[in-house]
Structure 1
Amino acid sequence: MCRNIRTLFNFDPPATEDEIRAASLQFVRKLSGFTRPSQANTEPFERAVDEVTEAARRLLDALQTNAPARDRDVEADKARERSRQRFARPVA
């Protein structure tokens, strides 16, 4: 659960609402300890996801940088290569 909330700032194209909501859901899951809340906790859980999504959107809209926007495909390729190197089996 929630091991990998990805960076959403400074990408071209910018993060979508779905990506921001997914990151917010992961964050609320981590804080609450629920993958899926009980019926009694569904309303506060969903409200928290909505509030975190709104705060994350405001944050991303307000951040500024002089760095060029990163390409999602290039960054994904780099991450895959790091993973391959990290988990590669040693040659005997």
Structure 2
Amino acid sequence: MCRNIKTLFNFEPPATEAEIQASALQFVRKLSGFNAPSQANEAAFARAVEEVADAARRLLTSLQTQAAPRDREIEAAKARERSAVRFGPR
């Protein structure tokens, strides 16, 4: 799995459109192997990003959970802490 794709479900506030688009772009980049597609592949690449974003949007709106929403700031702090343990403090 691509490490740049972040979990978007069950956060307060909910995932933004920009976050959904960014995760779709990273997913398509990973699948295609292209960071930036050639002119010949640009339309197919853009269409794939839109289709993946649409699927992600549908998924996020249809999922249900009993768990309390996670706080973005707390999760970011946990990630920084894990990073500091793994790579040392900055």
| Short-chain TM bin | over 0.9
Alignment coverage as a number of residue pairs: 88
Tell me, which stretches of 5 or more residues in structure 1 are unaligned? none
Moved over 2 A (4+): none
Structure 2 residue aligned with 1:11: 11
Give me the CA root mean square deviation. Answer: 1.1
Structure 2 CA distance for aligned equivalents of residues 76 and 21 of structure 1 = 20
Letter in 1 for 2:4: N
Q: Which moved more, 1:65-74 or 1:2-11?
A: 2-11
Structure 2 CA distance for aligned equivalents of residues 15 and 73 of structure 1 = 13
Letter in 2 for 1:7: T
Shift, 1:88, TM fit = 2.3
Structure 2 CA distance for aligned equivalents of residues 18 and 52 of structure 1 = 13
- State the structure with more CA Rg: 1
Shift, 1:87, TM fit = 1.4
Structure 2 residue aligned with 1:68: 68
Structure 1 residue aligned with 2:43: 43
TM-score by length of structure 1 reads: 0.92
TM-score by length of structure 2 reads: 0.94
Percent identity among equivalent residues?
69
Structure 2 residue aligned with 1:77: 77
Shift, 1:3, TM fit = 2.9
Query: For each residue in 1:15-71, what CA deviation from the matched residue of structure 2 results, as whole angstroms up to 9, or x when unmatched?
Result: 001100000000000000000000000000000000000000000000000000000
Tell me, which stretches of 5 or more residues in structure 2 are unaligned? none
Query: Could you say what secondary structure the match of 1:68 adopts?
Result: coil
Letter in 2 for 1:88: G
